[in-house]
Amino acid sequence: MYEEFKERLSSIISTGIIENELMNRHTTFKVGGPCSVFISPKIEEIPSVLKLCKEYEMPYLILGRGSNILVADKGYDGLVIEMGEENRQITISGTTITAGAGATLTAVAMAAYESGLAGFEFASGIPGSIGGGLFMNAGAYGGEMKDVVVSAKAIDEEGNFVMINADDMNLSYRHSRFMEDNLIITSVTINLTEGNKDEIKALMDDYNGRRKEKQPLGFPSAGSFFKRPEGNFAGKLIEDAGLKGLRVGGAEVSSKHCGFIINVDNATSDDIIKLMNKVQDEVKAQSGIMLEPEVKFIGEF
Ligand SMILES: Cc1cc2nc3c(=O)[nH]c(=O)nc-3n(C[C@H](O)[C@H](O)[C@H](O)COP(=O)(O)OP(=O)(O)OC[C@H]3O[C@@H](n4cnc5c(N)ncnc54)[C@H](O)[C@@H]3O)c2cc1C
């Protein structure tokens, strides 16, 4: 049955299929075991892939840049569909930018800067794709995807292409309708404002300088591990609980920014989960607040 699935998948995907691809090669945490099959398809191939997955009851994961996921050490028993090379084109018309879901937020921010368009500086240092960014409603320094998005093209679970306007995206803090309805984002259109190139560059440099100064960018991580609890900051709660530098195996609560769990020495997903549990328990015991992970868990833990 699995052999048959692979054979039929191969006949759909022009870019080839990879079996047992290690997910630590595709996540910024640099952890995660193998997935069953890995593909980086053309957009028009995705509906047939979804149909096949349904027929064979094969679970699938949409992968952007892997900067907000934790994949289990045992890997992922399913198909990984990467929004890759085939889907990274960026087009600009007036103040509007449309980008393939796989385009990096940095590339889109650079394209905006080069065209003198302001309003996307906040995203320039977020190491995700624009599809993943919209899915997560990513944000930083007072800006978020919600502020700039106009519409997105997506594929629903039945394999139909749909156009979704910003008003119908249910965007809120690290939440979107794309999560609720299992929609695959294939392209995103944002609207910016005309600005001064020097000022845009200065703002991007300022944000990226602040990131370098405050975040442990030298170590693999998934950024802020926990969501910001209302009226508080996860990093502060963790630091106040005395957990700075707490370590389990190769995973550590960053001393530079306690909201980050970092992979300091060949951490496993298991190390990261155990550390997360300790942090949650201790913060809950000391502050009464249960920290909720922002990171998405993939596979069995
Ligand atoms: C050093 C560092 C700093 C970070 N700073 C920030 C920050 O300032 N602000 C912030 O918000 N985040 C930040 N992040 C987290 C992360 O970069 C963002 O959440 C980003 O938007 C995730 O994009 P991605 O392409 O990597 O998504 P992935 O990690 O690949 O996927 C995340 C989720 O989105 C889904 N997904 C991805 N692409 C699609 C698609 N096309 N269609 C449907 N679903 C999709 C995946 O299935 C998964 O559930 C940081 C991470 C790191 C490592």
The CATH number that applies at residue 236 is 3.90.78.10
pLDDT per position as a tens digit, 102-121 = 999 999 999 999 999 999 99
- What percent of the chain stands above pLDDT 90? 98
pLDDT at 84 over 90: no
Cβ of 49 less than 6 Å from ligand 1: no
pLDDT per position as a tens digit, 227-277 = 999 999 999 999 999 999 999 999 999 999 999 999 999 999 999 999 999
pLDDT at 1 over 80: no
Q: In the listed set 85, 113, 147, which residue is the last one of a domain according to the structure?
A: 85
Q: Is 198 helix (H, G, I), strand (E, B) or coil?
A: helix
Residues 131 and 182 grouped into a single domain: yes
What number does the ligand 1 atom closest to the CA of 217 have?
A: 1
User: Span 171-182, mean pLDDT?
Assistant: 97
DSSP 110: H
The per-residue pLDDT for 5 is 96
pLDDT per position as a tens digit, 12-51 = 999 999 999 999 999 999 999 999 999 999 999 999 999 9
User: Span 54-82, mean pLDDT?
Assistant: 98
Cβ of 253 less than 6 Å from ligand 1: no
Question: Which is nearest to 75 in space by CA: 293, 270, 251?
Answer: 270
The per-residue pLDDT for 2 is 85
Cα R_g (the chain), whole angstroms = 20
Residue from 25, 67, 219, 254 to probe ligand 1 pocket by mutation (most atoms less than 8 Å from CB)? 67
Mean of all residue pLDDT scores within the chain: 97
For residue 141, what pLDDT band results from cuts at 50, 70 and 90?
very high
This prediction's pTM: 0.97
Q: How far is the CA of 183 from the centre of ligand 1 (A)?
A: 15
Residues 230 and 289 grouped into a single domain: yes
CATH number of the domain to which 145 belongs: 3.30.465.10
Q: Which domain does 257 fall in, by range?
A: 216-298
State the total domains in the chain.
3
Q: How many angstroms separate the CA atoms of 190 and 120, rounded?
A: 9
DSSP 299: S
Question: Which is nearest to 37 in space by CA: 22, 63, 55, 18?
Answer: 18
User: Span 184-204, mean pLDDT?
Assistant: 98
Cβ of 296 less than 6 Å from ligand 1: yes
For residue 21, being part of any structural domain is answered with yes
Helix (H) or strand (E) holding 205: helix 197-214
The residue whose CA is least distant from atom 28 of ligand 1 is: 66
The residue whose CA is least distant from atom 52 of ligand 1 is: 223
What residues are annotated to the active site?
A: 174, 224, 294
Question: Which is nearest to 64 in space by CA: 120, 126, 1?
Answer: 126
Cβ of 192 less than 6 Å from ligand 1: no
What number does the ligand 1 atom closest to the CA of 215 have?
A: 1
Question: Which is nearest to 67 in space by CA: 157, 164, 133?
Answer: 133
Residues 96 and 51 grouped into a single domain: no
Q: In the listed set 164, 199, 234, which residue is the last one of a domain according to the structure?
A: 199
Q: In the listed set 68, 85, 102, which residue is the last one of a domain according to the structure?
A: 85
Cβ of 84 less than 6 Å from ligand 1: no
The per-residue pLDDT for 85 is 85
